[in-house]
Amino acid sequence: MSDRPGVVLRREPARGCLNLRGNPRDAGFRNAVAAVTGVELPVESCTWGPAGDAAVYWLGPDEWLLVLPAGREADVERRLREALAGSFSVVDTSGTHCFLNLSGPARGYVLQKSSPYDFHPRNFPAGRCVQTVFAKASALVAANPDGSFDLVVRRSYADYVRDWIADAEEEYGFARG
C-alpha cells in the first residue's frame, strides 16, 4: 500500500436544502425560480449545475434539489413562495441530507463496489447526477468538474454509508478530510 491515500472522504458542512417541484415546461415557473435564486433549473434528466455558491440537482421530471449555503434556505423559500404561482411545491429538507465528498485516484473503484450504476467517466462525466442504490441505502451522486464525487445521503444513513466507504476503501489507503 502506498503512503498516498487512494481515497479521501470529506464530510461537508451542513447546507440549506429546498426540494422544489413544478412544471418545467412553464416558462413562468422557470423564470421565477431563476429570478429568486439565480439558478437555471436543469431540465435535462440526471444533470446538475452550480450557480455561484448554490447548486441545483435534477431529481425527477418535475422535481429539483436546490442546495444553498446554510442559513439562506428560509429566506429563499419565502421569496420562492411569493414569486411562484399555480401548482408548485417548496419544502425545506435541510435536516434530511448529509453531504460527503469522495476524491482521490481510487474514488471510482469505491463507487463501483457500492452501486450497480456505471460511474465510469465516459458514462458519468462532470455535470451528471444520479439517484441510485448505494450500499444498501440510496444516494444522490454527482460528478464534479474537478473529478471528485459529491454524495448526498439521508442523515439517518450517513454513519452507515461512511462506515461502508471506510470498509470499501481500506485496500486503497484512505484519508479523512
Q: Which residues bind another protein (CB under 8 A)?
A: 45-46, 59-61, 63, 116-117, 130-133, 138
- Least Å distance between CB 124 and another protein? 10
When the beta carbons of 11 and 136 are compared against another protein, the nearer one is 136
d(CA 68, CA 81): 16
Q: Which is nearer to another protein, 26 or 62 (CB)?
A: 62
> Could you tell me the smallest distance in angstroms from the CB atom of residue 41 to another protein?
15
Nearer Cβ to another protein (44/53):
44
Q: How far is the CB of 61 from another protein (least distance, A)?
A: 5
Minimum CB distance to another protein smaller for 7 or for 165: 165
Rounded to whole angstroms, the Cα distance separating 9 from 29 reads: 37
Distance, in Å, from the CA atom of 102 to the CA atom of 176, rounded to the nearest integer, reads: 10
Q: Is 83 helix (H, G, I), strand (E, B) or coil?
A: helix
Which residue, chain included where needed, has cell 419565502?
78
Task: Report the nearest approach of another protein to the CB of residue 138 (Å).
Answer: 4
Angstrom distance (rounded) from CA 20 to CA 63: 6
C-alpha torsion 70→75→77→78, nearest 10: 170
